[in-house]
Amino acid sequence: MRVGFVGTGTMGAAMASCLIDAGHALSVYDIRPEATAGLQARGARPAASPRAAAQGSEVVFLSLPGPEAVGQAALDPASGVLAGLAAGGALIDTTTNAPDMARRLAEACRARGIDMLDAPVSGRPPGMTVMAGGEAAVFARYRPLLAAMAGHIFHVGPAGSGCIAKLVTQYLGYANFVAALEGMMIAAKAGIDLGVLAEIVPLSAGASRTFDNIPRAVLTGTFAAGGTLDIVAKDLALACALARAVGAPAALGLCAHDLFSRAQAQGWGGEGFPVVARILERFADCELRARPSARQTRFAAEDPRRGSPRR
Protein backbone atom coordinates (compact mmCIF):
# COMPACT_ATOMS: atom_id res chain seq x y z
CA MET A 1 0.00 0.00 0.00
CA ARG A 2 1.15 3.57 -0.70
CA VAL A 3 1.30 5.36 2.66
CA GLY A 4 2.03 8.97 3.58
CA PHE A 5 3.38 9.67 7.05
CA VAL A 6 3.40 13.19 8.52
CA GLY A 7 5.33 13.67 11.76
CA THR A 8 8.35 11.39 12.13
CA GLY A 9 9.55 12.19 15.62
CA THR A 10 10.31 9.46 18.15
CA MET A 11 6.90 7.78 17.91
CA GLY A 12 6.16 8.61 14.28
CA ALA A 13 9.48 7.23 13.06
CA ALA A 14 8.98 3.99 14.98
CA MET A 15 5.48 3.51 13.54
CA ALA A 16 6.61 4.38 10.03
CA SER A 17 9.47 1.91 10.35
CA CYS A 18 6.98 -0.85 11.17
CA LEU A 19 5.01 -0.01 8.04
CA ILE A 20 8.19 -0.27 5.97
CA ASP A 21 8.89 -3.65 7.58
CA ALA A 22 5.40 -4.75 6.52
CA GLY A 23 6.21 -3.94 2.88
CA HIS A 24 4.36 -0.64 2.43
CA ALA A 25 5.81 2.17 0.29
CA LEU A 26 6.14 5.36 2.34
CA SER A 27 6.26 9.07 1.59
CA VAL A 28 7.37 10.94 4.71
CA TYR A 29 7.28 14.53 5.93
CA ASP A 30 8.39 16.25 9.11
CA ILE A 31 8.81 19.94 9.89
CA ARG A 32 12.42 18.98 10.73
CA PRO A 33 13.80 17.39 7.54
CA GLU A 34 16.51 15.59 9.49
CA ALA A 35 13.81 13.61 11.32
CA THR A 36 13.06 11.68 8.12
CA ALA A 37 16.68 10.71 7.39
CA GLY A 38 16.53 7.26 9.00
CA LEU A 39 13.34 6.40 7.12
CA GLN A 40 14.79 7.64 3.85
CA ALA A 41 17.75 5.33 4.40
CA ARG A 42 15.22 2.50 4.54
CA GLY A 43 13.61 3.49 1.25
CA ALA A 44 10.99 6.07 2.23
CA ARG A 45 10.52 8.98 -0.17
CA PRO A 46 10.87 12.47 1.35
CA ALA A 47 8.02 14.93 0.80
CA ALA A 48 8.21 18.72 0.86
CA SER A 49 4.89 19.23 2.69
CA PRO A 50 1.96 17.31 4.19
CA ARG A 51 0.15 17.83 0.89
CA ALA A 52 3.05 16.32 -1.04
CA ALA A 53 3.14 13.33 1.34
CA ALA A 54 -0.57 12.78 0.62
CA GLN A 55 -0.37 13.03 -3.15
CA GLY A 56 -0.38 9.54 -4.60
CA SER A 57 -0.93 7.96 -1.17
CA GLU A 58 -3.83 5.66 -0.35
CA VAL A 59 -3.58 6.32 3.40
CA VAL A 60 -1.92 9.13 5.35
CA PHE A 61 -0.91 8.87 9.01
CA LEU A 62 -0.42 11.86 11.32
CA SER A 63 1.76 11.72 14.46
CA LEU A 64 1.97 15.27 15.75
CA PRO A 65 2.32 17.23 19.01
CA GLY A 66 -1.32 18.29 19.43
CA PRO A 67 -4.51 19.83 18.01
CA GLU A 68 -2.95 22.97 16.58
CA ALA A 69 -0.33 21.03 14.65
CA VAL A 70 -2.97 18.58 13.40
CA GLY A 71 -5.19 21.40 12.15
CA GLN A 72 -2.30 23.01 10.30
CA ALA A 73 -0.97 19.80 8.78
CA ALA A 74 -4.34 18.42 7.73
CA LEU A 75 -6.54 21.39 6.91
CA ASP A 76 -4.28 24.11 5.49
CA PRO A 77 -5.80 24.79 2.06
CA ALA A 78 -2.42 25.18 0.37
CA SER A 79 -0.14 22.67 2.09
CA GLY A 80 -2.39 20.37 4.12
CA VAL A 81 -2.99 16.64 3.74
CA LEU A 82 -6.57 17.10 2.56
CA ALA A 83 -5.35 19.31 -0.26
CA GLY A 84 -3.40 16.34 -1.63
CA LEU A 85 -5.30 13.21 -0.61
CA ALA A 86 -7.70 11.93 -3.26
CA ALA A 87 -11.27 10.82 -2.62
CA GLY A 88 -11.36 7.17 -1.60
CA GLY A 89 -8.25 7.54 0.53
CA ALA A 90 -7.99 7.56 4.31
CA LEU A 91 -6.51 9.76 7.04
CA ILE A 92 -5.48 8.11 10.31
CA ASP A 93 -4.51 10.51 13.09
CA THR A 94 -2.42 8.89 15.85
CA THR A 95 -1.92 12.18 17.72
CA THR A 96 -3.09 12.60 21.32
CA ASN A 97 -5.66 15.10 20.11
CA ALA A 98 -8.71 17.01 21.30
CA PRO A 99 -11.97 15.16 20.50
CA ASP A 100 -13.43 18.33 18.93
CA MET A 101 -10.50 18.57 16.52
CA ALA A 102 -10.90 14.88 15.64
CA ARG A 103 -14.59 15.42 14.88
CA ARG A 104 -13.82 18.53 12.84
CA LEU A 105 -11.26 16.57 10.85
CA ALA A 106 -13.68 13.69 10.34
CA GLU A 107 -16.30 16.06 8.96
CA ALA A 108 -13.80 17.67 6.59
CA CYS A 109 -12.77 14.20 5.37
CA ARG A 110 -16.37 13.10 4.93
CA ALA A 111 -17.07 16.13 2.74
CA ARG A 112 -14.20 15.05 0.45
CA GLY A 113 -15.07 11.35 0.30
CA ILE A 114 -12.12 10.40 2.53
CA ASP A 115 -12.21 7.88 5.39
CA MET A 116 -10.90 9.00 8.76
CA LEU A 117 -9.93 7.41 12.08
CA ASP A 118 -8.71 9.16 15.20
CA ALA A 119 -6.40 6.47 16.51
CA PRO A 120 -4.10 7.67 19.30
CA VAL A 121 -1.60 5.21 20.68
CA SER A 122 -0.01 4.16 23.96
CA GLY A 123 3.24 2.26 24.39
CA ARG A 124 5.79 1.55 21.71
CA PRO A 125 5.57 -0.24 18.36
CA PRO A 126 5.18 -3.05 17.52
CA GLY A 127 3.37 -3.99 20.74
CA MET A 128 1.62 -0.69 21.43
CA THR A 129 -2.11 -0.09 22.00
CA VAL A 130 -4.32 1.72 19.48
CA MET A 131 -7.63 3.33 20.50
CA ALA A 132 -9.61 4.13 17.35
CA GLY A 133 -12.63 6.33 16.81
CA GLY A 134 -14.59 6.37 13.56
CA GLU A 135 -17.03 4.28 11.57
CA ALA A 136 -16.88 0.57 12.32
CA ALA A 137 -16.54 -0.33 8.65
CA VAL A 138 -13.60 2.06 8.24
CA PHE A 139 -11.94 0.61 11.33
CA ALA A 140 -12.36 -2.93 9.96
CA ARG A 141 -10.90 -1.87 6.60
CA TYR A 142 -7.71 -0.43 8.07
CA ARG A 143 -7.26 -2.71 11.07
CA PRO A 144 -4.67 -4.85 9.22
CA LEU A 145 -2.61 -1.72 8.60
CA LEU A 146 -2.76 -0.80 12.30
CA ALA A 147 -1.78 -4.37 13.17
CA ALA A 148 1.58 -3.80 11.48
CA MET A 149 2.39 -1.35 14.28
CA ALA A 150 0.37 -2.47 17.30
CA GLY A 151 -0.36 -5.53 19.40
CA HIS A 152 -3.60 -4.27 20.96
CA ILE A 153 -6.20 -2.56 18.75
CA PHE A 154 -9.60 -1.30 19.95
CA HIS A 155 -12.54 0.31 18.20
CA VAL A 156 -13.94 2.70 20.81
CA GLY A 157 -16.84 4.31 18.96
CA PRO A 158 -17.60 7.19 16.56
CA ALA A 159 -15.26 10.03 15.60
CA GLY A 160 -13.51 11.52 18.61
CA SER A 161 -13.92 8.39 20.75
CA GLY A 162 -10.32 7.29 20.32
CA CYS A 163 -9.12 10.67 21.57
CA ILE A 164 -11.43 10.46 24.58
CA ALA A 165 -10.08 7.02 25.53
CA LYS A 166 -6.47 8.22 25.22
CA LEU A 167 -7.06 11.35 27.27
CA VAL A 168 -8.70 9.34 30.03
CA THR A 169 -5.74 6.94 30.16
CA GLN A 170 -3.34 9.89 30.31
CA TYR A 171 -5.41 11.50 33.07
CA LEU A 172 -5.29 8.28 35.08
CA GLY A 173 -1.57 7.81 34.58
CA TYR A 174 -0.36 11.29 35.44
CA ALA A 175 -2.82 12.06 38.24
CA ASN A 176 -1.78 8.71 39.71
CA PHE A 177 1.88 9.68 39.37
CA VAL A 178 1.37 12.87 41.39
CA ALA A 179 -0.61 10.96 44.03
CA ALA A 180 2.25 8.44 44.25
CA LEU A 181 4.78 11.24 44.68
CA GLU A 182 2.70 12.73 47.49
CA GLY A 183 2.52 9.35 49.21
CA MET A 184 6.29 8.98 49.01
CA MET A 185 6.67 12.51 50.40
CA ILE A 186 4.51 11.59 53.40
CA ALA A 187 6.80 8.62 53.99
CA ALA A 188 9.95 10.72 53.63
CA LYS A 189 8.73 13.38 56.06
CA ALA A 190 7.66 10.67 58.51
CA GLY A 191 11.15 9.21 58.40
CA ILE A 192 10.92 5.76 56.80
CA ASP A 193 13.31 4.33 54.22
CA LEU A 194 12.02 5.17 50.74
CA GLY A 195 14.03 2.35 49.19
CA VAL A 196 12.21 -0.19 51.33
CA LEU A 197 8.85 1.46 50.66
CA ALA A 198 9.53 1.38 46.92
CA GLU A 199 9.77 -2.41 47.20
CA ILE A 200 6.60 -2.65 49.26
CA VAL A 201 4.30 -0.53 47.09
CA PRO A 202 4.37 -2.80 43.99
CA LEU A 203 3.25 -5.66 46.26
CA SER A 204 0.45 -3.68 47.89
CA ALA A 205 -2.78 -1.79 47.16
CA GLY A 206 -0.67 1.13 45.91
CA ALA A 207 0.79 -0.86 43.01
CA SER A 208 0.63 0.69 39.53
CA ARG A 209 2.70 0.81 36.37
CA THR A 210 3.00 4.56 36.90
CA PHE A 211 4.52 4.11 40.35
CA ASP A 212 7.34 2.10 38.78
CA ASN A 213 8.79 5.38 37.46
CA ILE A 214 9.47 6.59 41.01
CA PRO A 215 12.26 4.19 42.08
CA ARG A 216 13.78 4.32 38.61
CA ALA A 217 13.58 8.04 37.85
CA VAL A 218 12.84 10.00 41.04
CA LEU A 219 14.61 8.19 43.87
CA THR A 220 17.74 8.09 41.70
CA GLY A 221 17.46 11.80 40.84
CA THR A 222 17.74 11.16 37.09
CA PHE A 223 14.12 12.12 36.26
CA ALA A 224 14.48 10.32 32.91
CA ALA A 225 11.38 8.96 31.17
CA GLY A 226 9.93 8.28 27.74
CA GLY A 227 7.67 11.33 27.68
CA THR A 228 8.63 14.97 28.26
CA LEU A 229 7.05 17.24 30.81
CA ASP A 230 5.69 19.47 28.02
CA ILE A 231 3.83 16.51 26.50
CA VAL A 232 2.31 15.55 29.84
CA ALA A 233 1.19 19.10 30.58
CA LYS A 234 -0.49 19.27 27.17
CA ASP A 235 -2.25 15.94 27.64
CA LEU A 236 -3.50 16.85 31.12
CA ALA A 237 -4.77 20.20 29.84
CA LEU A 238 -6.74 18.42 27.09
CA ALA A 239 -8.10 15.87 29.57
CA CYS A 240 -9.24 18.56 32.00
CA ALA A 241 -10.83 20.53 29.16
CA LEU A 242 -12.74 17.40 28.17
CA ALA A 243 -13.92 16.95 31.76
CA ARG A 244 -15.23 20.52 31.83
CA ALA A 245 -16.96 20.05 28.47
CA VAL A 246 -18.88 16.99 29.64
CA GLY A 247 -19.49 18.20 33.20
CA ALA A 248 -17.29 15.60 34.91
CA PRO A 249 -15.21 16.26 38.05
CA ALA A 250 -11.46 16.60 37.51
CA ALA A 251 -10.10 17.81 40.85
CA LEU A 252 -7.10 15.46 40.86
CA GLY A 253 -6.24 16.25 37.27
CA LEU A 254 -6.43 20.00 37.82
CA CYS A 255 -4.08 19.73 40.80
CA ALA A 256 -1.69 17.57 38.80
CA HIS A 257 -1.79 19.96 35.84
CA ASP A 258 -0.98 22.87 38.18
CA LEU A 259 2.18 21.08 39.32
CA PHE A 260 3.25 20.27 35.76
CA SER A 261 2.61 23.90 34.75
CA ARG A 262 4.78 25.11 37.64
CA ALA A 263 7.54 22.78 36.45
CA GLN A 264 7.20 24.18 32.91
CA ALA A 265 7.60 27.68 34.35
CA GLN A 266 10.97 26.56 35.74
CA GLY A 267 12.12 25.78 32.19
CA TRP A 268 11.95 22.00 32.60
CA GLY A 269 9.50 21.33 29.76
CA GLY A 270 11.95 19.34 27.65
CA GLU A 271 12.99 17.07 30.52
CA GLY A 272 11.38 13.75 31.46
CA PHE A 273 8.00 14.17 33.12
CA PRO A 274 9.19 12.78 36.54
CA VAL A 275 11.04 16.08 37.04
CA VAL A 276 7.70 17.42 38.35
CA ALA A 277 8.76 15.76 41.63
CA ARG A 278 11.13 18.68 42.17
CA ILE A 279 8.15 21.01 42.61
CA LEU A 280 6.75 18.86 45.43
CA GLU A 281 10.23 18.59 46.93
CA ARG A 282 10.44 22.38 47.08
CA PHE A 283 7.01 22.63 48.69
CA ALA A 284 7.94 20.09 51.35
CA ASP A 285 11.62 21.08 51.70
CA CYS A 286 12.49 17.41 51.35
CA GLU A 287 14.11 15.38 48.56
CA LEU A 288 12.78 12.00 47.49
CA ARG A 289 16.03 10.04 47.16
CA ALA A 290 17.07 6.51 48.04
CA ARG A 291 19.62 3.97 46.93
CA PRO A 292 17.87 1.41 44.70
CA SER A 293 17.85 -2.15 45.99
CA ALA A 294 19.48 -4.99 44.08
CA ARG A 295 16.01 -6.13 43.02
CA GLN A 296 15.10 -2.69 41.65
CA THR A 297 18.41 -2.39 39.81
CA ARG A 298 17.86 -5.79 38.19
CA PHE A 299 14.25 -4.89 37.35
CA ALA A 300 15.31 -1.65 35.63
CA ALA A 301 18.06 -3.39 33.68
CA GLU A 302 15.63 -6.01 32.40
CA ASP A 303 13.03 -3.44 31.26
CA PRO A 304 14.12 0.18 31.90
CA ARG A 305 11.03 1.63 30.21
CA ARG A 306 8.42 -0.28 32.20
CA GLY A 307 5.66 1.90 33.56
CA SER A 308 6.22 5.04 31.53
CA PRO A 309 2.92 6.45 30.23
CA ARG A 310 3.85 6.69 26.55
CA ARG A 311 2.99 8.73 23.50
Q: Which of the following is catalytic: 24, 155, 166, 234?
A: 166
Q: Cβ(180)–Cβ(210) under 8 Å? A: yes
Q: Residue 37: what residue type?
A: A
Rounded to whole angstroms, how far apart are CA atoms 136 and 9? 29
Question: Phi and psi (nearest 5°) for 87?
Answer: -55, 140
Separation in Å, CA 192 to CA 159, 198, 270, 289: 49, 11, 32, 12
| DSSP character string of 59-83 | EEEE--SSHHHHHHHHH-TTTSGGG
Indicate if 189 belongs to the active site: no
Sign of the dihedral defined by the CA atoms of residues 57, 87, 163, 165, in that order? negative
HSE, side-chain direction, 13 A CA sphere, residue 29: 23
Query: From the DSSP assignment, how many helices (H) and strands (E) are in the chain?
Result: 13, 9
Helix runs in 36-160, H state only:
37-41, 50-54, 67-75, 99-111, 136-147
Instruction: Cite the active site residues.
Output: 166
